Structure 1
Amino acid sequence: MELRQLEYFVAVAEEQNFTRAAARVHVAQPGVSAQIRRLEREFGQELLDRGGRSVRLTAAGEAVLPYARAALAAVAGARLAVDELAGLLRGQLAIGTVTSHNVDLPGLLAEFHDAHPAVEITLAEATTDELVDGLRTGRFDAAIVSIGSVVPEGLDIQVITEQAIVVAVGHDHELAAHATISLDTLRGRPLISLPEGTGIRARLDEACAVNGFAPRIAFEAGDPEVLAQLAARGLGVAILPEAFAEARADRLRPISITRPGLRGRLAFAWRAKGPVSPAARVLIERARKMLAASR
């Protein structure tokens, strides 16, 4: 049994796809498939169900996965201990981010790269749910996420901004005459929202559920700018961060939501426990100082 076989197996299990897993580990797909087949022969059991559109774990695969992760984590921890003793700063950093924010992430990463050119940095956009899961499993070292008042389990955060979530409509919309509306006013109305898994959508779904209804999502897009454009054209009521909506007041009418009000937080997040590479530790420290100075 080889560590790379366990690494490839974990990648396929998490990605549920051989092509994405191969890209993640920077190996051609046939090589990943061949190594996992060897691992399965060694166990005498198939670990992956390849019959559907996505790859799923078999019962044996479910049993092996936590041990494979633990083995990889142990090796990573040993390497970190040696690197720290030697004072080295190298390896890889995986950073995640939600789509829209005002953090100078390119500036942060560029400064880090200039100071530590031996560290390979990757950046990926995803929903908050995907980012939180990636932080917990070690796929991401740090991420910018959108959350509510509760800190996701297993993570530490530094709040970047906290602001109200508002509705935004075109200036000729029937709601445009109102400065505030109750959440119940949205019942049955066509809404324009970010997709499930995003922080703002989670706050909307939670609040509507407490008030006894499910939001009617007519249009869904991952880019807040698209939501603003759809609302400005009169296609529905957009759910947006307050500052984002107010910055487009020439074409949108931001309206506060009351009873209850909705609030969200943008935060820089990292894993609370487990091995942290020297590179990740330095980046997290840099990011926290930058964010503290900008507030």
Structure 2
Amino acid sequence: MELRQLEYLVAVVEEASFTRAAARLHVTQPGVSSQIRQLERELGQRLLDRSGRTVRPTEVGATVLEYARSALSSVAGARLAVDEYAGLLRGHVAVGTVTLASTLDLPGLLASFHRRHPAVEISLRESSSDELAEALTASRLDAAVLAPAYTSPPGVELQAIADEPLVAAVSRDDPLAVAGRDRLALSELADRALITFTHSTGTRGDIDAACVAAGFRPRIAFEASDPGVLARLAAHGMGVAILPAPIARDHPEELHVLFTDPVIRGRLALAWRSAGTESPAATAFLAHARAALRTPV
């Protein structure tokens, strides 16, 4: 009995197909079938029922399957222990982010972790802050960059990594720019068409709340998750964009920037499960991210 045969058995049962199992294992379908038949001959029992449209384990096959999974798990654990002893980390890290995190060098963070731990696979998904928090608590993500609410989601810990003002940005021929103003009361935007983020970014909630507190409901003309799109729309005179200050300042020839009173702040946080991560790779990534991402002063 070989570990390869047990791995093939588990894959065939989970995929309910020799063909899909072969694709998953990156081997040929006849090779999978041959190894399973060899295992059945060695044990003297049929492990798989091939009579239907899908492959299913026989009664004895289901029993063997439990031991096969246990054996494969033990071998993986032994390899991980040896890798850790040798200083080589393996595994997979799932990271999430809101679009607004483009103001951070998240690709640079992932790249620096990859250079340090090249055997660790990294995946990245983009979603709303609420969905990212839910994915964290459900263990579908190991860490996420999100726009936090005023209280931490249940089961999630946060480390602030960005806290910067959002500004109003208008085209250079807008009356606010022509007047040379650099500040305005937020209430002055009550009758203006606003260009701002979608609700998926999280920061949109802060913008809406600030407008309501100033006595009006914002009149949203355009919304997008990419701050660069918002900046270009404002540069073309389509309205007043509410943007992170660094993004607005990246367009000095096209945009005039005004600070609002009160100031709306754009906040980002690194989030992870309060109960801790479930793998050495995820633990190492979280430590790397917490050290690398800047904390606002």
- TM-score range (shorter-chain normalised) is 0.5 to 0.7
Supply the distance in 2 between the matched residues of 1:279 and 1:231 (Cα, whole angstroms).
Answer: 43
User: How much has 1:236 moved relative to structure 2?
Assistant: 0.4
User: How much has 1:272 moved relative to structure 2?
Assistant: 1.6
Contact 2:98 2:146 in 1 (8 A): yes
Supply the distance in 2 between the matched residues of 1:158 and 1:111 (Cα, whole angstroms).
Answer: 20
User: How much has 1:271 moved relative to structure 2?
Assistant: 1.6
Supply the distance in 2 between the matched residues of 1:212 and 1:112 (Cα, whole angstroms).
Answer: 46
User: How much has 1:102 moved relative to structure 2?
Assistant: 4.1
Give the corresponding residue for 1:155: 156
The answer to whether the aligner puts 1:284 opposite 2:278 as a matched pair is no
Over the aligned positions, Cα root-mean-square deviation in angstroms equals 3.3
The answer to whether the aligner puts 1:86 opposite 2:88 as a matched pair is no
User: How much has 1:90 moved relative to structure 2?
Assistant: 3.2
Gaps of 5+ in 1: 9-25, 27-37, 39-74
Give the corresponding residue for 1:225: 228
Displacement over 6 Å in runs of 4+: none
Most deviating of 271-280 and 84-93 = 84-93
SS at match of 1:208: helix
Supply the distance in 1 between the matched residues of 2:79 and 2:273 (Cα, whole angstroms).
Answer: 19
**2:281 aligned partner, one-letter code:** A
**2:104 aligned partner, one-letter code:** V
Supply the distance in 2 between the matched residues of 1:149 and 1:232 (Cα, whole angstroms).
Answer: 32
Give the corresponding residue for 1:271: 273
Supply the distance in 2 between the matched residues of 1:85 and 1:117 (Cα, whole angstroms).
Answer: 15
Q: Summarize the Cα distance change of 1:83–1:97 in structure 2 as closer, same or farther, 3 Å threshold.
A: farther
The answer to whether the aligner puts 1:113 opposite 2:114 as a matched pair is yes
Supply the distance in 1 between the matched residues of 2:108 and 2:276 (Cα, whole angstroms).
Answer: 28
Give the corresponding residue for 2:258: 255
Give the corresponding residue for 2:59: none
Contact 2:95 2:143 in 1 (8 A): yes
Give the corresponding residue for 1:95: 95
SS at match of 1:197: helix
User: How much has 1:233 moved relative to structure 2?
Assistant: 0.5
1:171-212 per-residue CA deviation (whole Å, 9 max, x = no partner) reads 111222322111211213211011013232111111223344
Supply the distance in 2 between the matched residues of 1:183 and 1:160 (Cα, whole angstroms).
Answer: 26
Number of equivalent positions: 224
Contact 2:162 2:296 in 1 (8 A): no
Q: Summarize the Cα distance change of 1:85–1:106 in structure 2 as closer, same or farther, 3 Å threshold.
A: closer
**2:236 aligned partner, one-letter code:** R
Supply the distance in 1 between the matched residues of 2:295 and 2:149 (Cα, whole angstroms).
Answer: 23
The answer to whether the aligner puts 1:210 opposite 2:213 as a matched pair is yes
The answer to whether the aligner puts 1:235 opposite 2:238 as a matched pair is yes
Supply the distance in 2 between the matched residues of 1:292 and 1:227 (Cα, whole angstroms).
Answer: 25
Q: Which has the larger radius of gyration?
A: 2
Supply the distance in 1 between the matched residues of 2:197 and 2:90 (Cα, whole angstroms).
Answer: 37
Q: Summarize the Cα distance change of 1:211–1:122 in structure 2 as closer, same or farther, 3 Å threshold.
A: same
User: How much has 1:292 moved relative to structure 2?
Assistant: 4.9
Contact 1:148 1:265 in 2 (8 A): no
User: How much has 1:110 moved relative to structure 2?
Assistant: 2.7
Aligned identity (percent) is: 46
**2:272 aligned partner, one-letter code:** W
Supply the distance in 2 between the matched residues of 1:86 and 1:276 (Cα, whole angstroms).
Answer: 15
Gaps of 5+ in 2: 1-10, 16-23, 25-55, 57-69
**2:203 aligned partner, one-letter code:** I
**2:250 aligned partner, one-letter code:** A
Q: Summarize the Cα distance change of 1:272–1:168 in structure 2 as closer, same or farther, 3 Å threshold.
A: same
Supply the distance in 1 between the matched residues of 2:151 and 2:296 (Cα, whole angstroms).
Answer: 23
